[in-house]
Amino acid sequence: MTGVKAIAELFAGPGARDYLGETVTIGVHMRQAGALAEAAGAAAPLVAAALLHDVGHLRGEINDSRHGEAGARWLSQWFGEAVTEPVRLHVAAKRFLCATEPGYFGLLSQESVRTLVLQGGPMTPEQAAAFEALPFAPDAVAVRRWDDEAKDPAVTPPGFAHFEPLLNSLLRGA
């Protein structure tokens, strides 16, 4: 099975379930994030990362602090680091923003506040400096911001098929 077909099946199946107490399904949330990245004019790998950031949850990883790592590991069989690293780091990006950006914490949904505690809380200054030095930290922060915005029940994002050509173009060896 191709990577894009396997991902499409996740969006069609587990993607239709509730999203951890949010007002949209997890698949709608992820498609909204991808659409926000696309509307912002992000590069193709970053649009893919925004779209796929919670794929670890779709694959059954219920631990809120490990779903980014699990998703990135699974995606790495098909995609390079420009897609997988922002996926892996998007949880750390939330912790980073809570530690470094005044007012960011107040923008989080109630569920994001709850999971922040499970994810280790805001970073220490040392952790924030180490995160900021990572090559894909700015991309992970961008994905995080789209993640935070992508919870609007009034917004109907494009279907998964809209993103398939982009994902196919990013497959290793494409």
Contact 144, 97 (CB under 8 A): yes
Beta carbons within 8 Å of 40's beta carbon, 6+ residues apart: 142, 146
What's the mean pLDDT in 134-144?
98
Residue 58 CA to residue 56 CA, distance in Å, equals: 5
What CATH number matches the domain at 3-170, 1.10.3210.10, 3.40.50.300, 2.30.40.10, 1.20.1250.20? 1.10.3210.10
The domain limits of the chain are 3-170
What's the mean pLDDT in 106-121?
89
pLDDT tens sequence across 8-28: 999 998 767 766 667 888 899
Query: Percent of the chain at pLDDT above 70?
Result: 94
pTM of the model: 0.93
- What's the token pair of residue 68? 């980014």
